[in-house]
C-alpha cells in the first residue's frame, strides 16, 4: 500500500470528551504503530522464521494492511479504554487472576 494509514478509530471524535482512559488507549496505539507498526506485524505471518527476519518470499499476509484494517484495530483499542471496554478488560483479567487497581493519585 502506497498511502500511509492513520491509526485512528471510527469514533475518534469521542476523544475530545473527558475519558482519560479512552484517550490514553487511543494515543498509545497510535504511537506504538508509528514506532514499530504493530498492526502490520499482527497481520503478517512468516513461514518457519521469526517475523523480524522479514523474508518476503516466506511472508503470509493474514489480512490486508490497509486503512480499513487500521481503523478497525484502532476502534477496538479505543473501545478498551471506554467504560464498557474497560469493564470487559477488567473482568477478563480478573478471570485469570489479575486485579486492576487505580492509583491513589492520578496524573493530571
The reply to whether 12 falls in a domain is no
- Give the residue from 76, 56, 58 showing the smallest Cα distance to 68: 76
Please give the residue range of the domain that contains residue 87.
24-95
The reply to whether 40 falls in a domain is yes
The reply to whether 88 falls in a domain is yes
Give the pLDDT score at 53: 55
The reply to whether 83 falls in a domain is yes
Give the pLDDT score at 61: 82
- Give the residue from 94, 67, 90, 73 showing the smallest Cα distance to 21: 90
Q: C-alpha distances in angstroms, 52 versus 12, 30, 45, 84, 108?
A: 31, 21, 10, 35, 37
Task: Please provide residue 46's backbone torsions phi and psi, each rounded to the nearest 5 degrees.
Answer: -100, 145
The reply to whether 6 falls in a domain is no
Local mean pLDDT, 10-residue blocks, the chain (108 residues): 82 89 95 91 75 62 92 97 96 96 75
When divided into structural domains, the chain yields a total of 1
C-alpha cell at 19: 475519558
User: What's the pTM value of the predicted model, to 2 decimals?
Assistant: 0.80
Give the pLDDT score at 97: 97
Amino acid at each position: 500500500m502506497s498511502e500511509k494509514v492513520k491509526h485512528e478509530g471510527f469514533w475518534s471524535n469521542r476523544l475530545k470528551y473527558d475519558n482519560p482512559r479512552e484517550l490514553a488507549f487511543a494515543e498509545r496505539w497510535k504511537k506504538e504503530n508509528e514506532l514499530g507498526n504493530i498492526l502490520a506485524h499482527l497481520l503478517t505471518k512468516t513461514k518457519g522464521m521469526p517475523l523480524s527476519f522479514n523474508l518476503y518470499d516466506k511472508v503470509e499476509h493474514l489480512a490486508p494492511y490497509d486503512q480499513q484494517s487500521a481503523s478497525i484495530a484502532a476502534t477496538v483499542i479505543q473501545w478498551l479504554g471506554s467504560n464498557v471496554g474497560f469493564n470487559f478488560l477488567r473482568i477478563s483479567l480478573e478471570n485469570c487472576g489479575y486485579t486492576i487497581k487505580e492509583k491513589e493519585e492520578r496524573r493530571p
